Structure 1
């Protein structure tokens, strides 16, 4: 360094005569000649490679964890770099050399700000930033610079320009559009070499991800400083400058709205203003308006940054959504493009450009969706619904309506069989819009902010749509069903689900006839060992065999075969009894939430082969759904989300789902998240203590978590890790086993048509009141009863006029084991509801055992085994005792039966 300092002092001396003694005092006249002499020296130095030499010196001294230069040496190097440039009045050739060799040094401006403020001020005084941006605005100059520097040092040049622009604020304001153009071009040049995944030709870059060019070892040391410089591109100060016209536009609109509200409060102008407002409900923005062009240019720059600086994506999105300064303004501009958030404007541009989204207007939509998706994903319900961040409820409704119709129109051409455009399949804008749409839909499913039928597209002709799906070819209808199934009514999707199952059964050769079906399995089950026998005989069956007909032979407690109907089998009863027992929390396979919703138990390992049992349970539930058998099993919403695979989505948040598992823990974590003091005072660590069978077990949320304190800086990470542990990590194995069994029967693609709430309906039926007309229409009668029989009429009259909805629900549960009706009506109840007439002779009315059991209504699934009656879960046995049977008695006994869930007698 002493040698370097000596050489630097020599060069400083001979490149400027300002401190030469010969020109002091009377030698002033010699100054022009001496200046020329120094210029000649600098020209000679440039010809001999001054800038490359200074670049090597700067790189070796700065590309390390700690700079090797002292401030004096560093200032001397920068002074030598600036003098030729100033002497040539910032000529293009020398400025190009300065950019290539000096400003491309990693974190140079950062070090200038610390060690050489005078040189930084000199650069600002001579407006080197503005002049550099002007030079790089030429396509040829940008190409020369990038080809000479390659990607890594182009990134360093960009970082230095960004920090220099932050320092030279006046120049940045004057050349905002040019600056955004240059930043975009440099990023695009780097983007060419960015890869989405590892390959034999790629190398890991901490900022760019997998990159096709090698990174010099020394550069790694200083890349954290380069990241800090790049982050200045999305700080609040930079956002206000680059989106200056957008902020001014929003401020102007706010003033207009205030004046409008003030004016409308005056009666003299009220009617006239209201009439004018009726003709113009929105302030439309033309596509060529300056505010839109400028905003779209800025949006395009940030999108390029997100796509290029892959490892800084979250940082960019966080910066753009910081303090809610930008996002609401972006969507206000989109809204002002016309009705329905400018839907017509966007679709017109798509049509005019042959389904191409290269028009700058889509930069606005793309960034608006990307930033909104990012922030809403991490907001809790308090922030989103109560604090209205970043949108209020009416805005969320308008935005979701626009997104829904945008996706629909982008896919649905209206021409049957027309192939889909590339826009509707793999376009980045489409993907961003779709991701934001599905995020809002999932939030709405969990806690609604929309009116009924908000998500349905009324323009769809259901008959045409379903006809397209029936043809079985890839079309717009198929793609819509995959991407946005919620746009068609739930009933049609359930019908499609049942049709898919029917088609699969046809392919497998499964028929309703036991004799004709090649997929028929007979199992024998002892009632005391129902689960054990069922597990032993069914768990090893392949999925396709389980999709076939399962016949069950029950052995009662006396060891005798039970007679049965339903084609020698009573599989529905077996299925219901199995599901009822395995989901009983006392078995410890499942637990219940405070709302009595089921989810896997984290301590299920006390059961032998508990994971195999979970897979068996998943298969049994899948079989019930496959056969259309509704079972009264209410699952916790977070567990339903896992069954559907939502946790693997980019927009999934464990914190959002936590209330459905543990509301108290959710409130505690929300308190931690919003704690305004120093959270370290609460002495939390990244660990969780659990009491397992009387023993406290500590789970670490991260490696070494028990000694890592929770601070204000990492509390958000702690909150999400805790939620993820409780709902995923703690029951990961149990959930995986259950899902494996369930999906062995039910195709996951079929489930994608439904939301979590709709999946629960698919399992347990609808929440609607029992449709008695529909039930009566699809009731089967045996033993002499018919629809118009007096006793049968009493039954329907009692259910209709004397029972309330809750009692009708209990009646349905009494006869079908499920309190909710089938989704598609009782025509789809398996097996069908039936009423059977049972003759009883007079000598049986005296009170003998069998007679007393048979008198009145009798639910066979609760029968006395001694009776050996025909078995059917949906068969009501109604006695034919006309001598003393009364409607009032029938009503009382029926009400008693459904509330006590037992059989009863007529006295």
Structure 2
């Protein structure tokens, strides 16, 4: 444990700030060679001193956030499925592909306390205020030569935080994003037009940070979501305003769907705000009682709940109907799951006690019942219709669903009536027959 004199010396001499910048400059050489426990110890110290020296942290916040994000990505990468035979259990990460060094057992308690400061009330408020205060586009294009990685082929691998030594042109990242977006900007999938990815903004950094934390620290997932939803006006409300800045715009879901057309593999950090909002909102709404949701109307008013429900309903529908989601891709599957879970909890709460203005609120006007019947009758192209009926049956009115059910029963009867089997039973061999 460091003494007060040592901590004061660290703060006065800017050792923490300079260390963060130095580690960021050596990231490609050092962090990639760390073991799991060494990476966790490093991120624990980075978070601990960042929480302790917030004045210094505000100066090197982008470098600090980049380092934490980079290590969280590495930790999330080694988290594996517990069904595999060659995996080991880690007290913080869960099941990992790397064996735990017994020599680090004594440090686990302190390390977990340090890392948990990332989702403490003070740190969440500090980061939210700093990253959400300026809603203007944050210019973060100035990168180092260390960021030009030969094996980096996806947008997610391109760092989004500026550092000290600016070797690349100032508009490098923005030009790259512009080329990436304009390359597919003219494409259209179904009824959704591709939308070029906009420049990075500061809320994306905040969302990507905690989204990576949710992926890496699966055992602490509930604690992280609870902490983020503790002050709903600071995080959740700002996230919804970021996703849907124009209240009068009922087509804001098309922008996010347009990003999916542009980046179908969901490698861009631009999806982090939407995914994080879905997970936090689902976690919070699932525990709200009737008084909080319908009387005090916190964290959302009934009008906002209807807006969120419309957004989630239309987003999930078009994601399936226009085949924008690849369920085999983990990134896109997680994005859809976050919005689908939010949609389900809102629909179930509305069935329990209605907050929507009409019974036809959940139906989709873009598609008619005849289109659904046509999809089911075509065996080759009926997968999306079957998936919609499995996951989102509420988009079809109940009367039409009953009609469709009866039609299926009639078709089954007709198929069996034409396949009668004639048998002959001989009296002398009745037992054998």
1:459 to 328, 346, 366: 366
Q: Which residue of 2 aligns with 1:107?
A: none
Match of 2:19 in 1: 132
Is 1:393 matched with 2:299?
A: no
2:386 paired residue among 466, 469, 478: 478
2:275 is aligned with 1:371: no
Unaligned stretches of 5+ residues in structure 2: 136-195, 423-433
Contact 2:44 2:115 in 1 (8 A): yes
Contact between 2:131 and 2:206, CA under 8 Å: does it hold in 1?
no
Give the drift of 1:243: 2.3
Task: Report how many residues are paired.
Answer: 356
Can you list the C-alpha shifts for 1:91-136, whole angstroms capped at 9, x where unaligned?
xxxxxxxxxxxxxxxxxxxx33xxx222222222222222222123
Q: Aligned pair in 2 of structure 1 residues 337, 197: CA closer, same or farther (>3 Å)? A: farther
Give the equivalent residue in structure 2 for 1:181.
Answer: 66
| Residue of structure 2 in register with 1:316 after alignment | 224
Q: Is the 8 A contact 1:236 1:319 kept in 2?
A: yes
Taking structure 1 as the reference length, the TM-score comes to 0.37
**Per-residue CA distance 1:21-66 (angstroms, 9 max, x = gap):** xxxxxxxxxxxxxxxxxxxxxxxxxxxxxxxxxxxxxxxxxxxxxx
Which residue in the other structure is 1:21 paired with? none
Q: Distance in 2 between matches of 1:421 and 1:314?
A: 26
Report 1:776-795 matches (<5 A): none
CA RMSD of aligned residues (A): 2.7
1:216 is aligned to 2:101: yes
| Structure (1 or 2) with the larger CA radius of gyration | 1
For 2:4 and 2:408, how far apart are their aligned partners in 1?
Answer: 72
1:494 aligns with 2:398: no
User: Does the C-alpha gap of structure 1 residues 148 and 411 become closer, same or farther in structure 2, counting only changes over 3 Å?
Assistant: closer
Q: CA deviation at 1:219?
A: 2.5
C-alpha distance 506-360 of structure 1, shift in aligned 2 (>3 A): same
CA distance in 2, matches of 1:203, 1:230: 21
Using the TM superposition, give the Cα deviation of residue 448 of structure 1 relative to its aligned residue in structure 2, in angstroms. 0.8
Structure 2 counterpart SS, 1:210 = strand
Q: 1:303 to 1:328 in 2, by over 3 A?
A: same
Write out aligned runs for 1:612-631 (5 A): none
Matched, 1:234 2:119: yes
> 2:317·2:388 contact (CA, 8 Å) conserved in 1?
yes
What's the counterpart of residue 554 of structure 1?
Answer: none
Paired residues of 1:151 and 1:190 also in contact (CA < 8 A) = yes
Structure 1 residue 454: Cα displacement: 0.6
Match of 1:602 in 2: none
**Structure 1 residues 425, 393: CA separation in 2 closer, same or farther (over 3 Å shift)?**
farther
Correspondence for 1:121 among 8, 17, 32: 8
Aligned counterpart in structure 2 of residue 440 of structure 1, from 322, 333, 346: 346
2:314 to 405, 419, 439: 405
Aligned pair partner of 1:349 in 240, 259, 266? 259
The reply to whether residue 199 of structure 1 matches residue 105 of structure 2 is no
Specify whether residues 510 and 386 from structure 1 end up closer, same or farther in structure 2 by C-alpha distance, changes over 3 A only. Answer: farther
8 Å CA contact 1:296, 1:364 repeated in 2: yes
2:87, 2:95 within 8 Å by CA — same for their partners in 1?
yes
Partner of 1:322, secondary structure, is: coil
Aligned to 2:356: 450
CA distance in 2, matches of 1:341, 1:368: 18
CA distance in 2, matches of 1:211, 1:433: 27
For residues 341 and 155 of structure 1, the distance between their equivalents in structure 2, rounded to whole angstroms, comes to 42
Q: 2 CA distance for matches of 1:134 and 1:392?
A: 43
Deviation at 1:402, TM superposition (A): 0.9
Structure 2 counterpart SS, 1:204: strand
How far 1:489 sits from its partner (Å)? Answer: 1.3
Q: Where does residue 711 of structure 1 map in the other structure? A: none
Equivalent runs, 1:438-837 vs 2, <5 Å: 438-452=344-358, 453-473=360-380, 474-505=382-413
Matched residues in 2 for 1:142 and 1:333: separation?
A: 31
CA distance in 1, matches of 2:41, 2:304: 41
Q: TM-score, normalised by structure 2?
A: 0.75
How far the C-alpha of 1:146 sits from its partner, in A, is: 3.1
Map of 2:290 onto structure 1: 381
CA distance in 2 between partners of 1:337 and 1:394 (Å): 14
Structure 2 contact 292–298 (Cα < 8 Å) conserved: yes
> Are the structure 2 counterparts of residues 119 and 341 from structure 1 closer, same or farther at C-alpha, using a change threshold of 3 Å?
farther
Aligned to 2:36: 151
